[in-house]
Chains A and B, each alone.
Chain A
Amino acid sequence: RDIVVRFRKNEPERSNVPNMTDITFGVVGKDYVLMASDTTIARSIFKMKNNQNKIRTLDNHILMAWNGPVADSINFSDYIERNLELYRFRNHSSLSVHAGAYYIRNELATAIRSRSPYQVNILLGGVDKNGPALYFMDYLGSIMKVNTGIQGYAQHMTYSLMDKQWHEDMSLEEGIALIKDCIAEMKKRFLISFDDTTFQIVDKDGVRVLDNP
């Protein structure tokens, strides 16, 4: 019957600009992808929540870290998660990481020139029969397969560090040390403080949270 048309151009709402202050890292290792993100949700100058998990598990073998306003990010993540599950139910097998990444990119790219763009930046990591893979995606619909992925203001401070320290076939300890160095750099130089970070890893056995990395 009546469909609400969402017309969201020229939004002046200050809390809905692409949020660069989320910190997310992703690293491809020997047979795993390690991702870490901060856990703070801010509202103007306040920390409203400091135990938010910004890394979603899709389909038990893909990690999707989101950056951006909570509303769009959560709605988009829910939408993607459910569509991937639907694919699995219909086709009796999961999408590969590459296919999943391009599906998500397609959704972002369709949305950007539509009435309601999603303001979400994504880091997608997964391990399948082709090995570990990490994809960097933008809210505009750009996609890059990368070895080290960073989102937000953290890019300014830690790209060089990642470039220096990353090498092929890193072991888990080396991967954790690399991300910890990046986090230490952020704590030293980034104006906005953050307390906790959450580490999640995906390897051939699936997804798990690292409690004490």
Chain B
Amino acid sequence: WSFKMALEALHGVCRYRCKIDEDNVTFPQNLLGQHNLLLPSFPKANSQVGDYLVDENGRKIKMQFAHGTTTLGFKFQGGTILVADSRATSGQYIGSGTVRKIIPITPNLLGTMAGGAADCTYWERVLAKQCKIYQLRNKVHISVAAASKLLANMVYQYKGYGLSLGVMIAGYDKKGPGLYYVDNDGTRMAGNLFSIGSGSIYAYGVVDSGYHWDMTDAEAQDLGRRAVYHATFRDGASGGIVRVYHIKEDGWNIISEEDC
């Protein structure tokens, strides 16, 4: 692959440039470097992105970002459990019932998706790249704290630009199970139990009442599944398949993916 690129460069073929207007080359350079995103060309980018869309009559369409979701993560003696629903909504329409909201970052790390799906998948993919580079350079797996700090720092650069992320980075490293909450403001918090999304309010009730550190694996998986199931019942923006992941010392596993 790098040989092919070198050959192309030798012959002056530049695959990633679009030569629409040679004087005014403004294109997203995120293939060359993942932090070189185009800045929006208007001020107040954080709040007024949706105001620039108009329908056929010229009325403004308020862009509806999909925040509806329920994700849940907690640590216990047997590792870290991550559970998420799989519904994607735009306004009142259910776009998909089979979204994968738990994203693998490395074989030992998982990230969840809540907020803007594009933001979450893009930045977690960039994080996966950084984690892999860390592992190649240092010959050890990256710790959960370091991975979450990388993501928090990346997102802090774009603070105020309208990114929408509410993710949990979960994994198992040499300090044991790890769970961090990372936000689009750049907030990063370690904790034993987090739930994020519109259905989190319902999930908290169930999981808080049944949570304790010394659960068995089966109890923990069941508690997580139940909490998200109850959230999908009450929250209109959550539903679909409930996916349960368990992260242990040797990596993560999918425990179940059921339509509860």
Contact = CB atoms under 8 A, between A and B. Distances in A.
B31 to A, nearest CB: 13
A13 B185 contact: yes
Interface in B108-161: 152, 156-161
A72 B204 CA distance: 27
Interface stretch (B39-47, B56-64, B69-77): B39-47
B191 A48 contact: yes
A69 interface: yes
Given A2-B29, A13-B46, A48-B194, A70 B187 contact: yes
B46 A12 contact: yes
Interface in B201-241: 201, 204
Contact of A49 (B33, B45, B191): B191
Secondary structure call for the A interface: loop
Contact of A69 (B45, B160, B185): B185
B204 A46 contact: yes
A16 interface: yes
Nearest to A50: B191
Contacts of B46: 8, 11-13
B188 A74 contact: yes
B208 to A, nearest CB: 11
Interface of B: 29, 33, 35-37, 39, 43-47, 152, 156-161, 181, 183, 185-191, 194, 200-201, 204
A169 to B, nearest CB: 39
How many chain A residues sit at the interface, stated as a range, is 20 to 34
B188 A116 contact: no
Contacts of A5: 39
A189 B210 CA distance: 31
Contacts of A48: 181, 189, 191, 194
A6 B160 contact: yes
A12 B47 contact: yes
A123 interface: no
A1 B34 CA distance: 13
B123 to A, nearest CB: 14
Contacts of A72: 186
B160 A7 contact: yes
